[in-house]
Structure 1
């Protein structure tokens, strides 16, 4: 009976966690429209609800009731499964991401490796969608995504090796706790090169501007999901934003100290210690979400050859240099 109660509570907590996450994702779309609107001297959504606050709900209702079209010559089974693969992979990453001390669904010792491994699975959904659609545009988008993922997954992983060396752990909670032991309270300063590589690779991993080549509207119409509509299209949309939140959470945990406050700030302003850890974590998370949106509103899309050159000729060498420098620092300190 006790085991059943434990399972029931775990299911309830997990449902609440993902419910809150999906609400954040819904309003991230609203924030994106508003922020990009102001960047372009527009107002953004203003019609549905006060200042357009109900726009995400209207979008969900519209997508649910739109006709779900499956191309007649598509591989129907794979076509239908592909969005679920992308969304499941994106949401599964959050199982090991702590949002505060002891606030995590599963605190495993290899949490960082788990997140990187699961994040790499999402590309299968994109490749399957591109291939099964039986469309040249979708197929090219899927191929681009596969090549892009291979290129930037390496840089993303290498950018975190410095963090692993300094924390001496793959456990995300331990990585945060280790940062609080230093006076500067975060790995951002000693890992500034790794952080730069991570931010650029993060944009490419999530297929966001200036690296949104798999769905480039100018030449591929919409890329891998050009044939999708209705609820299945919304699943790809959710997967993209969930990946943004996952990468932002990883940046906050590995480089910004997660839910902790740097000791030198607490010494200068003791009242900051009274602020709940979840507030600090969310502020750092929202900063990186804003970075995604700001970059989309300001930078143009790279050419495909430039995308690949940046990954292999710039980011990977920089990440290797960061590993060497971090190793020397750890050896002498």
Structure 2
């Protein structure tokens, strides 16, 4: 792959990702309206399609205010960390056999886990630098929730890596040529999906924000484009987790008749719609219930999945 083509891939990927994250704000509001039997955005442009553009313009021109009591350098850096780590996570995802920014990195799974782990610094530093008790509580919640569910996310992938004999995401996709890993690794699929929702702190696992009791949690003091960066990072995180589930458990770009890119986009899109449906259908649990569910349910399930996968592989190996 030439340097010029690599730069072209990066520019196109960034444009598509940022545009998709902005467009998802409209998609989510329209789907929530359908499921809750009400109107969504329908005034700005045809079918309300320009509502996302209007929101973006409004965000750009809103006053970018920094509280005088905040730690200014860290306060400014925090949203940038969140956005950069999410975008870097896309580098290892093979959209098709010939389109992967990292060129089929042989430790793609580990790189993805590293980027999701670094994302916790964004919300923790945002809560601490704001010098606001509600923001600090949100940051502490985020630290406990995200660090805990990173453990389950990593363990849920062990069975997939064992079956594919590789940490490369391209190799994992090719290993699903005859059977998607969602069948032999259904427990890993469910665990990874739940851990991914918690990592992106999406409803019903949005405890770090907790608007009912924390106002807006870790980003209470943020406004303007700094708040917009948190917003974009959240929606880009949804796309990242959906794309990873597609790659790891749903065969990635593999599928009959249709072009590989179409298959990848279709699978990822269905998962994104499922994430939005969860927001419309489920209430938020208490914080102690969230943590107990992780350590008392997901951890044993992950360990059981690894043990059973290893035992079956030993039994069927020649």
Alignment partner, residue 7 of structure 1: 3
Q: Deviations over 1:87-112 (max 9, x none)?
A: 00000011111101121011210001
Structure 2 gap ranges (5+): none
Post-superposition Cα deviations, 1:223-263, rounded to whole Å, max 9, x if no partner, equal: 000110111000000111111111111100110000112xx
CA distance in 2, matches of 1:237, 1:45: 18
CA contact (8 A) 2:120 2:147 kept: no
State the distance in 2 between where 1:229 and 1:197 align: 34
Displacement after TM superposition at 1:153 (Å): 0.5
C-alpha distance in structure 2 between counterparts of 1:274 and 1:283, whole Å: 13
CA distance in 2, matches of 1:310, 1:83: 29
Structure 1 unaligned blocks of 5 or more: 262-272
SS of residue matched to 2:109: helix
Alpha-carbon offset, residue 13 of structure 1: 2.2
Please name the residue that 1:270 is paired with: none
For 1:298, the equivalent position in structure 2 comes to: 281
Question: Deviations along 1:125-166, whole A, 9 cap, x unmatched?
Answer: 110100000101100000000000111000111011000010
Aligned length: 315
| CA shift for structure 1 position 277 | 0.5
Give the C-alpha shift of residue 9 in structure 1. Answer: 3.6
1:274 is displaced (CA, Å) by 3.0
Q: Which residue of 1 aligns with 2:111?
A: 114
Aligned to 1:138: 135
Tell me the TM-score normalised to structure 1 length: 0.93
1:321 corresponding residue in structure 2? 304
Q: Distance in 2 between matches of 1:18 and 1:329?
A: 41
Q: Which residue of 239, 249, 255 corresponds with 1:245?
A: 239
Instruction: Give the corresponding residue for 2:67.
Output: 71
1:215 is paired with a residue whose SS is coil
Give, in whole Å, the separation in 2 of the partners of 1:279 and 1:11: 23
TM-score by length of 2: 0.97
Paired residue for 2:166?
169
Counterpart Cα distance in 2 of 1:249 and 1:187: 15
Is the 2:253–2:263 Cα contact (8 Å) retained in structure 1? yes
Following the alignment from structure 2 to structure 1, what is the Cα–Cα distance between the partners of residues 74 and 97?
40
For residues 239 and 123 of structure 1, what CA distance do their matches in structure 2 show?
12
Distance in 1 of aligned mates of 2:9 and 2:310: 40
